[in-house]
Amino acid sequence: MKRIVQVGTVPLGGGRIAVQSMTTGKTSDAQACVAQILRLEEAGCDIVRVAVLDEADACAIKQIKEGVHIPVVADIHFSEKLAVLAAESGADKLRVNPGNIGGEREIARVADCVKAHKIPVRVGANSGSIHPEYLQKYGRSAQALVESALANARVFERHGVHDLVLSVKASDVRMTVDAYTALAEKSQYPLHLGVTEAGVGEQALVKGAVGIGSLLLKGIGDTIRVSLTDDPVREVIAAHEILRACGIERYAEVVSCPTCGRCEYDCMGLARRVAARLKGERTPIKVAVMGCVVNGPGEAADADLGIAGGRKFCVLFERGKQQTRVPAGQAEQMFFERLEKLLKEKET
């Protein structure tokens, strides 16, 4: 039986995949931190993590929590004192590395503290923090990551902490997928998915999407973070796109054909305008923008609303039926009017 771990108001392990991100500013600047978290909330972030480097950061969590509406996770290295302080300031979860937090005495202090505050801990391993014993035994591999993560979990289990979330991130996508797949077999704890140090731009997006997406499609993972060297709001948007692509979330979706020689109107421009209108739209609706009236309505027959363009006239269609032939000059306006009406109908 999989364990359900509660992070503030958000359960992990119960079936719904929670989207996470991390703030980029200094946590002690609580005001700026709150402003960034509110933007993340607006984008659909479920849980936010903040870096705790010193006492000012740890204490700021109290003020941050007063200004935001989602659980706040404190990310701490090297100091059990900061871990305790973050928990006392109201952190909803700690992310620590038992390997650098100190010896048994320090671990015991953190364990007692999280039990007293009834908050979970994320432990795990990434390719840069593999336990030396497993690194020597298995090399830098998925197996070494898994054994390190399980060893880190055992450290807290020995102290009676069982509300754990595990992660095994590597910057190599295949290693990440292999590690999480093996870990899911061996552990009942919720899994935090991510590809670490994914990089920038399209490369990072694709690495995150392939790594996280292929695990989600296998039914593995309870919370995800897409690591991008970018505005964290983009991480949240990317995370929802991955959930959508995996069929886990149904929000507004635009499908469009790649166009070919049959296309005689500005299909790409219209697709972009429709996508801009539906950006962030939570109503589950599938809208198709197709390049020609010959194949478009048939190819997008499952769309709630579609348009197939032509030089003189266009066709509007709903669920592959109810085709309306309209003059090309009026088609876009009629299409958007119908789209707004459908959105309203679906909202109510």
315 binds ligand SF4 (CB under 6 A): no
Q: In the complex with ligand SF4, which residue's Cβ is closer, 158 or 262? A: 262
Compute the half-sphere exposure of residue 204: CA atoms within 13 Å on the CB side of its CA. 19
Out of 263, 274, 288, 339, the residue judged to bind ligand SF4 by CB under 6 A: 263
SS (H, E, C) 47-79: EEEEEECCHHHHHHHHHHHHHCCCCEEEEECCC
Cβ count near 51 (within 10 Å): 16
Beta carbon nearer to ligand SF4, 37 or 293: 293
Nearest distance from residue 71's CB to ligand SF4, in Å?
A: 45
Residue owning tokens 């994320």:
122
Q: Does 219 bind ligand SF4 (CB under 6 A)?
A: no
Least distance (Å) between residue 206 CB and ligand SF4:
24
* Segment interacting with ligand SF4 (CB under 6 A) among 166-174, 222-230, 243-251, 252-260: 252-260
Q: What are phi and psi of 68, to 5 degrees?
A: -120, 170
Residue whose CB is less far from ligand SF4, 1 or 260: 260
Query: Which amino acid, 331?
Result: A
Q: How many residues bind ligand SF4 (CB under 6 A)?
A: 13
Q: Which is nearer to ligand SF4, 190 or 297 (CB)?
A: 297
Which residue, judged by CB position, is nearest to ligand SF4 in the bound state? 291
Per rule CB under 6 A, is residue 314 in the interface with ligand SF4?
A: no
Least Å distance between CB 298 and ligand SF4?
9
| CB of 266 vs ligand SF4, minimal distance in Å | 12
Least distance in Å: CB of 179 to ligand SF4? Answer: 40
CA atoms within 13 A on the CB side of 9: 7
User: In this chain, which stretch among 126-134, 138-146, 237-245, 253-261 interacts with ligand SF4, using CB under 6 A?
Assistant: 253-261
Distance CA 265, CA 307 (A): 11
Q: Are strands 253-256 and 18-22 parallel, antiparallel or unpaired?
A: unpaired
In which residue are the tokens 């991955």 written?
Answer: 242
- Helix, strand, coil shares of the chain, percent, nearest 5, are 45, 20, 35
Residue 227: closest CA among 197, 191, 202: 197
Q: Which of residues 267-306 bind ligand SF4 (CB under 6 A)?
A: 290-292, 294-296, 299
Residues at the interface with ligand SF4 (CB under 6 A): 257-260, 262-263, 290-292, 294-296, 299
